[in-house]
Amino acid sequence: MTASARVDMGKYSKSKVREYWKQMVRRTEMHWNTAGELYAIFRIGTVRFALKASYVHAVVLFREPSPLPMLPKHLMGVTSIRGRPVSVTNLSYLTGIEEEPRDKNGYLVLLGDGEEKTALKVDWVFDVALLDPSKSVAPPEKWKGVRNGIVTGMIDEPGAPAVLLLDAVKCIRSVA
């Protein structure tokens, strides 16, 4: 190998680079050996929620929906996402959580189950991550009576904030 063909490793020695790659391999192995399902994790107020990612079709910036007469209180109206009309569900109303001030617009999480779709208004979308639903416990008492039983459990692992699991089908088909 000629001197010009050598890779410039900058300030890192070969041993440091090898150690870095060994760490990356260990992280990858940990990721692939983890049991669980993919969940979309988002926040309303200060509370974190998770929905199975298989129900989540898109995440878009919040846009004020067009109100319609005689809708249940949890439905904010209708908006267009990808050229199709979609109802907008105010998840803070269904869960009883106070919304963040209007200066933070938030996001719409588009959910679908076959032909039925809705967009959930949330404050912030964090991540799509592997969660193990077998590690979930019953939600705290204050969440058991929440509308339509949409909170199904809670995952509270050491070193991570608690996440409440939502039933996506009940969120989509929620009734007044």
The per-residue pLDDT for range 24-44, each reduced to its tens digit, is 776 665 555 456 788 999 998
Report domain extents, the chain.
37-172
What topology is assigned to 37-172 in CATH?
Answer: OB fold (Dihydrolipoamide Acetyltransferase, E2P) (2.40.50)
Give the pLDDT score at 48. 92
- The closest alpha carbon to 80, from 42, 114, 110, belongs to 110
Number of helices and strands in the chain (H, E)? 4, 10
Torsion, Cα of 105, 175, 137, 45 (10° steps): 20
pTM value > 0.85? no
Residues, the chain, total?
176
